[in-house]
Structure 1
Amino acid sequence: MTTDETYTAAEKETLHASLDRHRDAVLWKLQGLDDERLRRPMTPSGTNLLGLVKHLASVEYGWFVSTFGGEVEPLWFDPYTDEDLTVGPGETTRQITDFYGRARAAADAVITGHPLDALGRPDWRDHPVSLRWVLVHMIEETARHAGHMDIVRELIDGATGDHPRGTEPA
Structure 2
Amino acid sequence: MPELQARLEGAARATKEVLTSLPPSQLDEERKFRDRKVTVRWGILHVIEHTATHLGHIQLTRQLWASQGKRFSP
Q: What TM bracket, shorter-length normalisation?
A: 0.5 to 0.7
1:103 Cα deviation from its structure 2 partner: 0.7
Larger radius of gyration: 2
Contiguous gaps of at least 5 residues in structure 1:
1-92, 159-170
1:116 Cα deviation from its structure 2 partner: 4.0
1:157 aligns with 2:66: yes
Higher relative strand content: 2
Aligned to 2:54: 145
The separation in 1 between residues aligned to 2:26 and 2:55, in whole angstroms, is 27
Amino acid of the structure 1 residue aligned with 2:10: R
Aligned to 2:71: none
Aligned to 1:131: 40
Amino acid of the structure 2 residue aligned with 1:95: E
**SS of equivalent residue, structure 1 residue 100:** helix
The separation in 2 between residues aligned to 1:139 and 1:111, in whole angstroms, is 12
Which ranges of 4 or more aligned residues in structure 1 deviate by more than 6 Å? none
Closer/same/farther in 2, CA of residues 143 and 154 from structure 1, 3 Å limit? same
Amino acid of the structure 2 residue aligned with 1:94: P
The structure, 1 or 2, with the larger RCO (C-alpha pairs under 8 Å, 6+ apart) is 1
The separation in 2 between residues aligned to 1:131 and 1:116, in whole angstroms, is 10
Aligned to 1:104: 12
Closer/same/farther in 2, CA of residues 157 and 113 from structure 1, 3 Å limit? same
Closer/same/farther in 2, CA of residues 129 and 108 from structure 1, 3 Å limit? farther
The separation in 1 between residues aligned to 2:39 and 2:18, in whole angstroms, is 12
Amino acid of the structure 2 residue aligned with 1:96: L
State the TM-score, normalized to the length of structure 1.
Answer: 0.32
Amino acid of the structure 2 residue aligned with 1:102: G
Count how many residue pairs are aligned between Structure 1 and Structure 2: 64
The separation in 1 between residues aligned to 2:43 and 2:11, in whole angstroms, is 15
CA RMSD of aligned residues (A): 2.7
The separation in 2 between residues aligned to 1:128 and 1:106, in whole angstroms, is 25
